Structures are given as C-alpha cells and as structure tokens.
C-alpha cells in the first residue's frame, strides 16, 4: 500500500512538474514574441524612415536632372530658333536680291529691245546707202573703161604686175641689206655669247696622274705591308693590279697604276688593312673584294649627286652609273667627270643666252662623253657609242644627236648639237686642261693588257712598272706549267710584232694552284 501511494505521488508530481514546465515555457515564448514584435516594429520604423530619406533624395535628383535636361532642351530650341531666324533672314535677303535682279533684267531687256530696233533701222539705212554706192561705183567704172578704153580686169592685171616688180626690187634690196648686216654682226654676237659663257663658269685645273701616295703612321708598318719574303705585297699587287713602290720615303708608300679605279681600290684596301692590323694574303683578298663592291656603290652615289647638282631629272639608272664611272676616267689627262660637268654648265648658260631649253642642253652636255666610260675597248668612235647608249635608255632625239655629232661623226639635226660641240671645245682647249702625252701612254698600257686577254686561260692581266712589265695571272685548271712558259713567250712575241714601245717589256705569267675545303 505504501508503494502504491509512493508511485501515485511520483506520477502526480511528474504531471504537476510537466504542467508547470509547460506554463513556464509558454510564458517564455510569449516574452520572446513580444520582444520580436518590438524589434520588428523598430526595424520597420527605421526602414520607413530610410525609405522616406531615399525617396526624397531620388525626387531631388530627378528634379535636378529634369531641370538640367530642360535647360539643355531650351538651349537647343533657342539655337534652332536662331538658325531658323537666320535662314529666314537670308531667304528674305535672297528674295530682295532676286527681285532687284529681275527688275534690272527687265530694264536691260527693254533697253536691248530699243537698241535692237535702232540697229535694225540703221542696218536698213546702210543697206540702202550701200546699194546707192554700188550703183555709183559701177557707173564710175563704166565711165573709166570708156575713157581709158580698158576693162576693169585688164587695168587690175597691169596694176598688179607693176606692184609685183616694185615689191620684188624692194624685197631683194632688204634681203641684201639684212645679209650684209648679219655677216657683220653674227661673228661678233657669237664671240660675245661664247665669252660671256666662259666668264660665267668657274673651272678646275687638271690634276690627274698615275700615282697615289699612301701615308703611314710610322715606318714600322712598311714591314707588315711587305710581309714575310714579300708575300703580302705580292698578294696586294695580284689582287688589285697596282704596283706598290716601297722606298726610302719616310712614312709613305707609292701606288702606281694608270687605271684610277684600281688605284683607289688599292688605296682604300691598304687603309682598311693597316687600320685593322691583320695583314695576310687571305685577309688581303677579302678586303679587296669588299672594297671593290664599295667602289661600285660609290660610283652610283657620285652619279646621283652629279645629276642632282646639275638639276637633271629622270635619267636612267644605267646612265647614272655611267656618269659615276666618269670620276675614274680621264680624257687627255683631264678628269672626265669634271670635264662633263663643265661642259654641262657651259651648255646650260649658252642655251639660256640663245633662248633654248637650258635643262635639255645640260643633259646633252653631261652625257656627251659617256662613250668613253666602257672598260672594253671597241672600234666604234666614243661619240657614236654614247649616242647608242642614250637611244637605248630612252633619251630624246635632240640629246642623242648632240652626243653623236659633237665630233662630226653624224650630221647635226638640232641646235643643241653645235652648242655641245662648242662647249666641248671650250672645256678641252682651256690652258692646262689636257695632256696629250699622258693619254697616249695610258692607251699603250691598255693595249698591253688587251693583248694578254686575247690568249686563252688568262684570268687577270696588269701592266705595271710604267709599261715595262706585263703581269699575267692564268687559271691553273686550264694552263699547265709548261703551257705557262709557252704563253709567256707567245705574249712577248705578240707585243713585239703588234706594238711600238720604248725599251723592253717583261712578261710574267703567274700560275697558282689552290685546294679549298670547308670543315662543317
């Protein structure tokens, strides 16, 4: 019984505790709900206040944007109204101008109509008077025919015959007078033009020779240039065809060659070798090859500079190259480029004095001696060869004729031809301009080399020692040692039979064998 009572008490206690817990939990929940409602209401209030603030800001921004757009729109409308008013004003001005022009046109039309009526009336009066004059003229002619017993045609023919005879006599007298006057003044005028032309052109003295002096920093460099047993100097002479003279002259060696191109190649090559410090046969050949290409580029640059200085345009590149080569050519000791530039300037001045095309005259004067530029000698005169070149490269017929006729090989067909001929004579006849002996000497050296090139297997041929030695390089695969000796003999016999020369000529044939391989 006690146990049951205890169990019932426990159960009742548990139920009461559970009920009390439920009541407490409900009270806590209600308190939490109240707190949540309070916080929600505060949040809603804050949100409403922020929303009101944002709404006011946006409304203010919208009002400002509206006012801004409104002001811009008003400006656009004002500008448009201003343009429209200006256009209307221009239209009104145009209308007033057009109305004024119409009024003037109407007034002019009325005046023209009045003048036309006046002219028609005058023309009718003139026609009547002309008919009266014609009638009177016919009646006078009839009366004259009756009086002179000649018809009008017969009288006219007699009058024409008498006038013809008189006119012929007067014309012959005038022609005779003009011819006599021209004879007296032509020579004087020609001399005046030539003298004025010469006086207006500055000339240079001829300075061409056959030697160049290469200056050294010290005499120690001479030994390096000569090389062991002279191998370096032999390599330079073989590569350039220039004789190198090393004597007791302090700090200088002499380069001797009649061909100024070879001499310049040798001088520049020596300068590069001495500056670089590496002097041996392989390096010498490499430097000479590079210098030869450099000289070719310099020739083109000299040609371009020359035509620019003279104001000549549209010249073919091959002719420009020929003009550049003139720098290394001479005519009777006179530098060919200086001579051609001088002739071009003389031609330009003389053509201007005579009222001709000065630019075309300069062009013909510059190109008149291009036939002397080719390295290979030909039987054709240089004037005709130059004319062929000019025709080939599109020069005008007047220029071609002036080139071909400046030594009277062909007939002159334009006024430029005698001008070029005269200017060429002026440039060449100047005291100190030319030396006949030097040119014949150079021609003899060229003939020596040409004889060597006439034999098979010859690769290079150089006349050195002022023409006393001919050095011939042959191809080793085509000429053997035995044939080299025979070739030397044949060349010497050919020189002996075909040429006239002082003293004796030594013929040296050089045959060199090289084996070249490349390690990769």
3-state secondary structure of 12: helix
Query: How sure is the predictor about 296, in pLDDT bands with cuts at 50, 70 and 90?
Result: confident
3-state secondary structure of 477: coil
- Parent domain of 250: 213-288
Query: Which of 429, 460, 486 finishes a domain?
Result: 429
The torsion defined by the Cα of 317, 318, 320 and 323, in degrees rounded to 10, comes to 180
> If you write DSSP's letter for every residue of 153-169 in order, what string do you get?
HHHHHHHHHHHHHHHHH
Query: How sure is the predictor about 205, in pLDDT bands with cuts at 50, 70 and 90?
Result: very low
Same domain? For 328 and 410 the reply is yes
Name residue, tokens 């510059």.
366
What is d(CA 348, CA 364) in angstroms, rounded to the nearest whole number? 10
Counting the structural domains of the chain, the total is: 3
pLDDT digit string, tens, across residues 87-96: 888 888 888 8
Same domain? For 365 and 467 the reply is no
Query: Hey, how many other C-beta atoms are within 10 angstroms of the C-beta on 401?
Result: 23
Name residue, tokens 């065809």.
241
Query: Which of 224, 257, 288 finishes a domain?
Result: 288
Same domain? For 315 and 420 the reply is yes
Lowest mean per-residue pLDDT among 122-131, 163-172, 317-326, 413-422: 163-172
Query: How sure is the predictor about 370, in pLDDT bands with cuts at 50, 70 and 90?
Result: confident
Q: What is the CATH number of the domain that holds 456?
A: 3.30.70.1350
Q: Which helix (H) or strand (E) holds 274?
A: helix 260-276
Tokens of 31: 């308190």
Look at residue 321 and tell me if it is in a domain.
yes
152 forms beta bridges with none
- Looking at every residue in the chain, the average pLDDT score rounds to 81
Look at residue 154 and tell me if it is in a domain.
no
Tokens of 157: 């023919």
User: Do 391 and 400 contact (CB within 8 A), yes or no?
Assistant: yes
Same domain? For 400 and 329 the reply is yes
Q: What pLDDT was estimated at residue 244?
A: 82
Q: Which helix (H) or strand (E) holds 131?
A: helix 2-148
The rounded Cα 345 to chain-centroid distance in angstroms is 19
Give 31's DSSP letter.
Answer: H
Give 380's DSSP letter.
Answer: S
Give 455's DSSP letter.
Answer: S
Query: How sure is the predictor about 48, in pLDDT bands with cuts at 50, 70 and 90?
Result: confident
Same domain? For 333 and 424 the reply is yes
Query: How sure is the predictor about 460, in pLDDT bands with cuts at 50, 70 and 90?
Result: confident
Q: What is the CATH number of the domain that holds 392?
A: 1.10.3210.10
User: Do 362 and 311 contact (CB within 8 A), yes or no?
Assistant: yes
What is d(CA 60, CA 41) in angstroms, rounded to the nearest whole number? 28
- Average pLDDT over every residue of 211-233: 78
Give 248's DSSP letter.
Answer: S
Lowest mean per-residue pLDDT among 79-93, 124-138, 245-259, 269-283: 245-259
Look at residue 74 and tell me if it is in a domain.
no
> If you write DSSP's letter for every residue of 327-362 in order, what string do you get?
GG-EETTEEHHHHHHHHHHHHHHHHHHTTS-HHHHH
Per cent of the chain over pLDDT 90 is 0
Q: What is the CATH number of the domain that holds 267?
A: 3.30.1370.10
Same domain? For 415 and 336 the reply is yes
Same domain? For 323 and 420 the reply is yes
Lowest mean per-residue pLDDT among 73-87, 189-203, 263-277: 189-203
The pLDDT of residue 208 is above 70: no
Give 459's DSSP letter.
Answer: E
Same domain? For 336 and 421 the reply is yes
Look at residue 186 and tell me if it is in a domain.
no
Same domain? For 487 and 392 the reply is no
Look at residue 274 and tell me if it is in a domain.
yes
Query: How sure is the predictor about 206, in pLDDT bands with cuts at 50, 70 and 90?
Result: very low
Same domain? For 319 and 408 the reply is yes
Q: What pLDDT was estimated at residue 430?
A: 57
What is d(CA 474, CA 34) in angstroms, rounded to the nearest whole number? 126
The pLDDT of residue 45 is above 70: yes
Same domain? For 404 and 500 the reply is no
Q: What pLDDT was estimated at residue 149?
A: 60
User: Do 381 and 408 contact (CB within 8 A), yes or no?
Assistant: no
Q: How far is CA 460 from CA 97, 256, 510, in A?
A: 92, 17, 10
Look at residue 19 and tell me if it is in a domain.
no
Q: What pLDDT was estimated at residue 179?
A: 67
- Average pLDDT over every residue of 273-302: 86
Query: Hey, how many other C-beta atoms are within 10 angstroms of the C-beta on 491?
Result: 23
Query: Which of 429, 450, 481 finishes a domain?
Result: 429
The pLDDT of residue 433 is above 60: no
Look at residue 460 and tell me if it is in a domain.
yes
What is d(CA 195, CA 201) in angstroms, rounded to the nearest whole number? 10
Could you tell me the sign of the dihedral formed by the alpha carbons of 379, 384, 388, 390, in that order?
Answer: positive
3-state secondary structure of 261: helix
Look at residue 295 and tell me if it is in a domain.
no
pLDDT digit string, tens, across residues 326-361: 887 776 667 788 888 888 988 988 888 888 888 898
What is d(CA 258, CA 499) in angstroms, rounded to the nearest whole number? 18
Same domain? For 371 and 397 the reply is yes
């Amino acid at each position: 019984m006690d146990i049951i009572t205890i169990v019932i008490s426990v159960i009742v206690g548990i139920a009461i505790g559970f009920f009390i817990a439920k009541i407490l939990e409900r009270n806590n929940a209600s308190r939490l709900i109240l707190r949540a409602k309070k916080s929600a209401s505060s949040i809603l209030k804050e949100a409403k206040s922020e929303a009101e603030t944002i709404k006011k800001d946006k409304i203010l921004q919208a009002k400002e944007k509206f006012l801004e757009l409104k002001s811009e729109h008003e400006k656009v409308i004002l500008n448009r109204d201003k343009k429209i008013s200006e256009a209307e004003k221009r239209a009104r001005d145009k209308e007033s101008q057009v109305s004024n022009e119409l009024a003037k046109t109407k007034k002019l039309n009325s005046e023209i109509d009045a003048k036309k009526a006046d002219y028609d009336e005058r023309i009718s009066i003139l026609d009547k008077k002309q008919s009266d004059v014609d009638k009177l003229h016919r009646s006078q002619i009839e009366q004259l025919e009756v009086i002179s017993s000649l018809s009008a045609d017969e009288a006219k023919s007699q009058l024409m015959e008498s006038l013809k005879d008189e006119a012929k006599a007067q014309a012959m007298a005038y022609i005779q007078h003009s011819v006599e006057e021209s004879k007296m003044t032509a020579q004087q005028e020609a001399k005046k033009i030539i003298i004025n032309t010469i006086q207006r052109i500055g000339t240079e003295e001829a300075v061409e020779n056959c030697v160049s002096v290469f200056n050294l920093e010290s005499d120690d460099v001479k030994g390096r240039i000569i090389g062991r047993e002279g191998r370096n100097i032999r390599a330079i002479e073989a590569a350039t065809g220039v004789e190198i003279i090393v004597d007791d002259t302090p700090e200088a060696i002499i380069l001797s060659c009649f061909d100024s191109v070879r001499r310049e190649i040798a001088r520049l090559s020596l300068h590069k070798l001495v500056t670089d410090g590496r002097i041996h046969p392989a390096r010498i050949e490499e430097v000479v090859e590079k210098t030869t290409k450099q000289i070719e580029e310099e020739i083109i640059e000299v040609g371009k500079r020359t035509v620019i200085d003279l104001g000549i345009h549209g010249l073919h590149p091959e002719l420009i190259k020929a003009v550049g080569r003139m720098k290394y050519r001479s005519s009777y000791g006179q530098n060919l480029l200086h001579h051609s530039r001088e002739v071009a300037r003389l031609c330009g001045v003389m053509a201007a004095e005579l009222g001709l095309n000065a630019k075309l005259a300069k062009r013909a004067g510059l190109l008149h001696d291009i036939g002397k530029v080719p390295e290979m000698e030909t039987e054709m005169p240089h004037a005709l060869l130059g004319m062929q070149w000019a025709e080939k490269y599109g020069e005008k017929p007047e220029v071609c004729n002036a080139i071909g006729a400046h030594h009277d090989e062909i007939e002159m067909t334009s006024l430029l031809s005698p001008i070029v001929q005269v200017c060429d004579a002026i440039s060449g006849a100047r005291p100190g301009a030319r030396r006949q002996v030097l040119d014949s000497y150079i021609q003899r050296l060229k003939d020596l080399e040409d004889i060597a090139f006439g034999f098979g297997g010859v690769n290079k041929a150089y006349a050195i020692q002022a023409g006393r030695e001919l050095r011939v390089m042959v191809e080793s695969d085509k000429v053997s040692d035995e044939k080299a000796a025979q070739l030397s003999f044949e060349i010497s016999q050919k020189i002996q039979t075909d040429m006239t020369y002082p003293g004796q000529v030594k013929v040296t044939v050089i045959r060199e064998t090289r084996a070249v391989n490349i390690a990769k």
